Chain A
Amino acid sequence: MKKLLILGAGTAGTMMANKMRKALSRNEWDITIVDQFKTHYYQPGFLFIPFGMYTKNDVIKPKNDFFPVGVNVIFSTINKINPEKNSVVLDDGVVLKYDQLLIATGTRTAPEETEGLTGKLWYKEIFDFYTIDGAVALASFFKTWKGGKLVVNIAELPYKCPVAPLEFVFFADAFFTERGMRDKVDITYVTPLPGAFTKPRATKMLGDLLEQKNINIVPDFNIMEVDNDNKKIIDYGGTEIPFDCLVSIPTNLGADVIETSGLGDDMNFVKTDKHTLQQVDYKNIFVIGDAANIPTSKAGSVAHFAAEIIEENMMCAIEGRELTASFDGHANCYIETGFGKGTLIDFNYDTEPLPGSFPFPGLGPFGLLKVTRTNHYGKLLFRWIYWHILLKGKEMPIDSEMQMAGKKL
């Protein structure tokens, strides 16, 4: 029997376990998936928790519900990958051999990377919302908050779900407006980017939205430390921004095992060929999702589009053929803009987010770079799609390759 080993059972790893169990013969291939946690989190839902729109129960399910029959599941931390020996060592010393390895170990928030971030105000007046604990703590803080300076700060690039901090400030604007206290809350968006987003058209559109909603933006801010005593954040250039409530998007790092195995860059993201999705030094290792250092968004949609490419290329590699699929960096993000509306962006390595309609040219139903009610329902509907279609590796009516049809240049 040959062995496919999948490290990580988040969105990407779970999807691939389902896809590869269908693609590979059960008589020839053993598939094993390893993860340290038993709970699967619907991470796009974390954003809704601080504003009381979702609770913890809306975003969690047992991981075991999503693995197909015929896949071995091991819950353990992963100690080391030995690519020279085609083996992986688990925490208890168990060694797993593999013929093909798929790394899907994701990214984690590392607030300890910023001085003072996890100081005495952590989870009292300083929160994150990229973890379930942070999102729940912030929800309870907002329930009784009397207002003041709300500062949302992105510590460092790259970070997962790049639109989430923008959605957070849009939701905050709507939340405090609906509670009749928007005039008591001063919202400031502080980012290391030169504007609201990276590419010109999306930056303009989202920057205009911030302005319309009376949200301040401080660009080019690289945080050095959080001063807990004087309640302010300070950047390397000396700029200081005071806060009453700080919502941080902490530094994102890849898994520790990537570092200890010598497979990563200086943020522990696996060095990956951006088109083939193979690890750059080892041909029998593929990398999917947030764990890869490819220059596109760290987001579930990217993992979803990459999954088809990896399935095809892994089959090529197994059968000794040349790799035929090439990833274009396709990402697709619904962006909540508050008050029951949303917008949508669709882009890849080479094409910036453009206005238009999606997925059907001229028809939509979703509008690209437009604020519509339908886009918001698209996002809400997505939670159902995620649990029932996406994780199970079933077909979706969206091409993995980004389409130009429906986009306006």
Chain B
Amino acid sequence: MSTKTIAGVEINVTEDGYMNDASQWSKEIAAEIAKEEGVELTDKHFELIDFIRNKVAAGEGLTLRGIGKSGVVNAKEFYQLFPGAPLKKATKIAGVPKPTSCI
């Protein structure tokens, strides 16, 4: 585990930059991480980030299908908000662990 100073706060992060402690998260930190990922956060982003944080807090898994059914965005809009690898980017910005796929 390493630490990183984001928005003036020392944060615990994993090797690939995911926050270890969701309680350290703030909107300012999210905006900083988003900048590194090339994403400019809007209200819609934050609405989805809320959904993601609530899902993870409830111990539920995150999938593209689940996001598409969130009522906030559909899968295509999700890609538009977080271009490239939306689930990886969105979870990183939301301060929750990187989603694992188990098959």
Contacts and interface: CB of A to CB of B under 8 A. Distances in A.
B84 to A, nearest CB: 7
B12 to A, nearest CB: 22
Nearest to A222: B64
Contact of A198 (B61, B63, B76, B102): B102
B76 A236 contact: yes
A220 B102 contact: no
A297 interface: yes
Contacts of A220: 85
A157 B79 contact: no
Interface string B48-90: 0000000000000101111001000001101100011110000
B53 to A, nearest CB: 18
Q: Tell which of B65, B78, B103 has the most Cβ of chain A within 10 Å.
A: B103
A197 B75 CA distance: 23
Given A220-B85, A237-B79, A237-B83, A198 B66 contact: no
A222 B88 CA distance: 13
Interface string A181-209: 00000000000110001100000000000
B75 A158 contact: no
A90 interface: no
Interface string A87-121: 00000000000000000000000000000000000
A157 B83 CA distance: 20
Nearest to A154: B103
Contacts, number: 46
B23 interface: no
A43 interface: no
B5 interface: no
Interface string B32-57: 00000000000000000000000000
A218 interface: no
Contacts of A125: none
Contacts of B76: 224, 236
Main secondary structure of the interface of A (DSSP, over half): loop
A156 interface: yes
B84 A237 contact: yes
Contact of B102 (A224, A238, A296): A296
A222 B102 CA distance: 16
Q: Tell which of A158, A193, A266 has the most Cβ of chain B within 10 Å.
A: A266
Interface in A214-261: 220, 222, 224, 236-238
A233 to B, nearest CB: 15
Contacts of B65: 156, 266-267
Contacts of B63: 157, 266
A158 B102 contact: yes
B75 A236 contact: yes
B78 A236 contact: yes
A47 B64 CA distance: 28
A222 B69 contact: no
A267 B68 CA distance: 13
Interface in A154-182: 156-159, 162
A40 B65 CA distance: 31
Nearest to B63: A157
A295 interface: yes
29 contacts: A156-B64, A157-B103, A158-B101, A158-B103, A159-B103, A192-B101, A193-B101, A197-B103, A198-B100, A198-B103, A222-B64, A222-B75, A224-B75, A224-B76, A236-B76, A236-B78, A236-B79, A236-B86, A237-B79, A237-B84, A237-B86, A238-B79, A266-B65, A266-B66, A267-B65, A295-B102, A296-B102, A297-B102, A298-B103
Going nearest first, the 5 A-B pairs with the smallest beta carbon separation are A162-B103, A295-B102, A236-B79, A237-B79, A157-B101
Interface of A: 156-159, 162, 192-193, 197-198, 220, 222, 224, 236-238, 266-267, 295-298
Given A158-B103, A198-B100, A297-B103, 15 more contacts: A156-B64, A157-B63, A157-B101, A193-B101, A197-B103, A198-B103, A220-B85, A224-B75, A236-B78, A236-B86, A237-B84, A237-B86, A266-B63, A266-B65, A297-B102
